[in-house]
Every structure is written in structure tokens, then in C-alpha cells.
Amino acid sequence: MTSNKVTDSSFEADVIKSEKPVLVDFWANGVDHAYKLPQRSRN
């Protein structure tokens, strides 16, 4: 499995129009409440 950085401008081509299934992990600095969720909710 590979990991690619997707930007706003590449999201449609990289994710929406991908020929293969895509798993997207949305993440942002400073979202502390996400770390308080149980592990199964974060994955």
C-alpha cells in the first residue's frame, strides 16, 4: 500500500476519478478532540 499527499486541486483526479478503491485519512494540526476519541473511532 502506498501513501500519497492529496491536495484540494488534486482531490478529484486522485480520489474521485481513481480506477482503484481509495482510503482517505483526513487529518489537521490542532484537532485535539480527535485524539480523545476511542481508537476504533479514529481509524
Angle in degrees, CA 14, 22, 29, rounded to 5: 80
- Write down the pLDDT at residue 10: 94
DSSP states of 1-43: -------TTTHIIIIIT-SS--------TT-HHHHTS-HHHH-
Question: Over the chain (43 residues), what is each successive 10-residue block's mean pLDDT?
Answer: 86 94 80 64 50
- Write down the pLDDT at residue 19: 95
Indicate whether this model's pTM tops 0.75. Answer: no
Q: How far apart are CA 35 and CA 9, in angstroms?
A: 28
The domains of the chain are located at: 1-32
Angle in degrees, CA 21, 26, 29, rounded to 5: 155
